[in-house]
Structure 1
């Protein structure tokens, strides 16, 4: 037991898992993060693209910003702000009505504080994954979680069948670890056998998600026809949100970069035609054209971008909250915590709150 004393595996490096790992490490727990992607962040990740002429572009193609209302989150955000990891995105926001072709209710400065990671949304997760006591393994997907009853330990195996180690506790911050969606995408059973945690089974059976396509576009000149740096799109079956990514603090201003998000209706329509597997380049090109065409149909003076690429978020945005009071799911006897925005509220703050709660549960074990 001494060789694995106070060792915890955290599956997923989104903000919930990263916050949980950081708090555990500060409490003296040895933490290993396993992330199937190349870098941290989940839907707070930053996308790097290279144009045909070799120019590098970066986009926050998932969550554009976050807000704070809870005291425990304020404490963390103030610390991150002092470290230069976050800054307030102090711009006006509003809505655009596709029927009247008018901007509505442009928000005045100071009414709401919107925060972003600096120099990208993934900056917070990246810093937390590098803290003392946290070991991060990127590009390593977890294929199986096995409970060793005799040793009272968890054993983790990779998607390639390799042994990833044994741990006293596990935090799963990726809902797909138990979701049938994992099977639909990979053809394999979900990593966590629900028979091991029957008390959680009902809540975790099938968490509904909201799909979304994001369009990343870059312009040589500013879009002066748009009077706000972020706006909801109403009365559109295709677009739901648009923001000027390059207007955020700490971003390069060599060109103007925008990120558009599709409606759920539009994304579901595409997925119904193409399935849940990774979309083809042809599909992504078609989506990019359609999303940009919808922006042009607003009647605004929109020039042609020199870069345009779409990305699909298949399951990043939860459509429900399964543990609003508890803030995370907890199996004390097996020292298993499941956390994420799908537990508290479907936003960044909800994910942070859930990660804090999961860390508290694990910390109480020792």
Structure 2
């Protein structure tokens, strides 16, 4: 009742407060799924109750129930210590290798359960392919362009709730850009069924938000974990340029979670051969990406196009996304930033080509596609993703060896999408927490601290 009275003060309307109360009740079965819960929730918002003057801000004449008054009846410190303690009874030290969205999802879930988590990431960024490149461009500073995942959808209710909360925080926004598909020489509408989400100011906003407060060691290469008693030892990777360089010992970890593209994850799972073999068997497609800055807008009736013919697989007007800055040429006229993704087949055939050659070829393909003279080019960059997309993802959610305490997660464990990456990370965290709770429960039973389970 106390929390139900408090939530209206944290939401923008009574309707929103009721929706939050019903969602929390359904998800956590606060009243054991009793239909009378609706009556209780509505009572906190005034139904079946009389007014309690005087009028107060936000809640008017609703019967008050102050959280401060309620706190005086409880030992809040003892309550906090109880609910903030790990469910397993023992705080685990967990290494997460890779700060892609799957790794960040796993890390967040485990930190929320009061475990000690260290995330190691070999690059300077976080968020994996939810990436944004900052392109220096005189005279107006830099331009932010998404060079990895272009947008994502939220179809699973668990992920949709997360996305809604991130949108409320201003991290995400829906992209209402006009999407089409190139078919038989013409453009047909496409992608109208789902809300397309993008990071405000760049897709990297998502990884940046998820990494807040985590112990994240960026630009840190680690070697495959080594079994160390009942846990794992983690050291920095050997320096290929200096074999005499001293390696850093990051200490002992109870669990190791690998969040990396499948071919890169396999060597880190070598101590669990069955998991390593499954990861190594997942084929992943490469992708050449070209970023272009034009001096003037392209006069087209679409903002994103699925091509899937010739060199190009996807073309997008990145400047059309919410919160994006448009490019500028040196004369100060409005310009645009565009993103070109090559098909996997074309990328494989040109895998070792120079970035300059790739940019030139894909720019020519764009000109042929639009069938008109392109505006003056102000800047261009090319980036090669060796592991852009899982071609045959596992239908496993995640990989986990409970005996060794090592596992892997990523979009390649699920459906190859950003949603799949997040759900995979949460699934792996759930396996860790479930195994720890089961071990703690078993220890308590052996010690006689818990009664035997009934057969009911």
TM-score when normalising by structure 1: 0.85
Name which of 141, 144, 147 aligns with 2:227.
147
Is 1:264 matched with 2:334?
A: no
Deviation at 1:24, TM superposition (A): 1.0
Q: How far apart are the structure 2 equivalents of 1:357 and 1:58?
A: 32
Distance 1:56 1:343, change over 3 A: same
Higher relative contact order (CA 8 A, sep 6+): 1
Instruction: Spell out, residue by residue over 1:27-76, the C-alpha distance to the aligned partner (whole angstroms, 9 max, x if none).
Output: 11111110000010111111112236673122110100001110111121
Q: How far apart are the structure 2 equivalents of 1:207 and 1:142?
A: 22
Distance 1:316 1:154, change over 3 A: farther
8 Å CA contact 1:212, 1:267 repeated in 2: yes
- Counterpart of 1:184 in structure 2 is none
Is 1:319 matched with 2:319?
A: no
- Counterpart of 2:66 in structure 1 is none
Q: How far apart are the structure 1 equivalents of 2:378 and 2:208?
A: 30
Q: How far apart are the structure 1 equivalents of 2:175 and 2:408?
A: 31
Please give the secondary structure, in 2, of the residue aligned with 1:297.
helix
Is 1:114 matched with 2:189?
A: no
Q: How far apart are the structure 2 equivalents of 1:230 and 1:119?
A: 18
Deviates more, 1:71-80 or 1:196-205: 196-205
- Counterpart of 1:185 in structure 2 is none
Name which of 22, 25, 39 aligns with 2:125.
39
8 Å CA contact 2:96, 2:120 repeated in 1: yes
- Counterpart of 1:358 in structure 2 is 428
Aligned residues: 330
- Counterpart of 1:7 in structure 2 is 93
Deviation at 1:178, TM superposition (A): 3.6
Structure showing greater radius of gyration is 2
C-alpha RMSD of the superposition = 1.9
Deviates more, 1:245-254 or 1:26-35: 245-254
Deviation at 1:106, TM superposition (A): 5.0
Is 1:55 matched with 2:141?
A: yes
Unmatched runs of 5 consecutive residues or more in structure 1: 180-189
Deviation at 1:301, TM superposition (A): 4.1
Unmatched runs of 5 consecutive residues or more in structure 2: 1-89, 239-246, 328-334, 438-456
Deviation at 1:206, TM superposition (A): 3.3
Is 1:104 matched with 2:188?
A: yes
Name which of 202, 212, 215 aligns with 2:290.
215
8 Å CA contact 2:143, 2:326 repeated in 1: no
Q: How far apart are the structure 1 equivalents of 2:314 and 2:432?
A: 38
Q: How far apart are the structure 1 equivalents of 2:96 and 2:400?
A: 14
- Counterpart of 2:356 in structure 1 is 285
Higher strand share: 1
